[in-house]
Amino acid sequence: MGTRVLICDDSKMARMQLAKGLPTDWDVDIDYAEDGQQALDILSASAFDILFLDLNMPVKDGYQTLQALQSFVQPPAVIVVSGDVQPKAIQRVKDMGAVAFHKKPASAGELRRLLSSLGLFVADSRIVAPLSSQGTAAEAFTLNECLQEVSNISMGRAASVLADMLNVFIKLPVPTVNILEVGELQMALDYSVKNGSCSAVSQGFVGSGIAFEALLIFSDSSFPDMAKLLNVTEEIDHDVEVELLMDVSSVLVGPFMDALGKQLNVDFSHGHPALLGQHVKIADLINVKKAKWKRTLAVEIVYEVENYQISCDLMLLFTEDSVPVLENLLSYLVEEE
């Protein structure tokens, strides 16, 4: 029997990319899990040699899975492959028993070198057939699945910059992707910004036929802790709040767009960030842009700073005209893998 490998990731695209990147001259049997709980169920029923583990997943995330694996008599060697590249995240998974961490997406060459360095892979010249995978055609993936995965990677890059600047750990959820009418958008934002008023900054982006707005929404209750982390000692008035908003916006939005553009191979031009509202209700934000956002492809990412009262939503709102262009670019990206 060959080496038994379990790939655990909620993204079908990520599972396929990783499976296709494994050495083709490796005697290996691959199985898949869509979340940590499913992986633990599989590992409880049968022994595996290696577990490739994502961090941000529904049901049971990578950290919870690593925690549960500590009670296993013979756990597999765990290699975390994640878009969350915060230094504290990497250290945490290693402290919890992972033998290695690799950022997404991992190329075939990088995986081969990593597995060899860990002593987990020995080339077998008798293996000539390509590894089977979950699918190779772009048609196997929906727009939402592809956009969620590239957003997940971009989110991790942006969080790493903010975490480094503030010396904190950023909790990252799975990004959500939906096509929403204006009313549905308001409901989605109301749900995420649960308490009181909020303040928001918007910035427009355009490139290669894709146009969208990045909207960073801050719960107003976040300002005191954010000021503390940034060593702002003066009184937090409206001007200081705007300054904090712009600082965080540039740190989160800039690296996110850079990572997104590199994955799509698009150079996005951007406008200046503008204050969309201060101490307002979500409905007021929506009303400002109601005519423009009649129907939009929305990507929502919630950033939370661990141990602090800070949370913010990053929303990407794509125009309807951008959807087919984006779909085409993402299909090309999948075919390249």
Do residues 204 and 322 share a domain?
A: yes
Residue 130, domain member (yes or no): no
Do residues 111 and 159 share a domain?
A: no
Reported pTM: 0.86
pLDDT, one tens digit per residue, over 60-83 is 999 999 999 999 999 999 999 999
> CB 213: neighbour CB atoms within 10 A?
19
Which tokens is 289 given? Answer: 């842009």
Do residues 113 and 201 share a domain?
A: no
Do residues 264 and 173 share a domain?
A: yes
**Which domain, by its residues, includes 162?**
143-335
- Asked which of 101, 118, 135 is the last residue of a domain, the reply is 118
Closest CA to 199 of 226, 229, 174: 226
Helices (H) and strands (E) in the chain, counts: 11, 13
Write down the pLDDT at residue 187.
72
pLDDT at 135 over 60: no
Polymer length in residues for the chain:
337
- Asked which of 74, 103, 118 is the last residue of a domain, the reply is 118
Residue 128, domain member (yes or no): no
2: confidence class by pLDDT, cuts 50, 70, 90:
confident
What residue type is assigned to position 153 of the chain?
I
The DSSP letter of residue 130 is: P
Residue 129, domain member (yes or no): no
Residue 136, domain member (yes or no): no
pLDDT, one tens digit per residue, over 224-271 is 999 999 888 888 898 999 999 998 888 889 999 999 999 999 999 999
Phi, psi of 17 (to 5 degrees): -60, -45
Residue 220, domain member (yes or no): yes
What is the C-alpha to C-alpha distance for residues 42 and 48, in angstroms, rounded to an integer? 9
Closest CA to 193 of 253, 79, 136, 277: 277
Residue 219, domain member (yes or no): yes
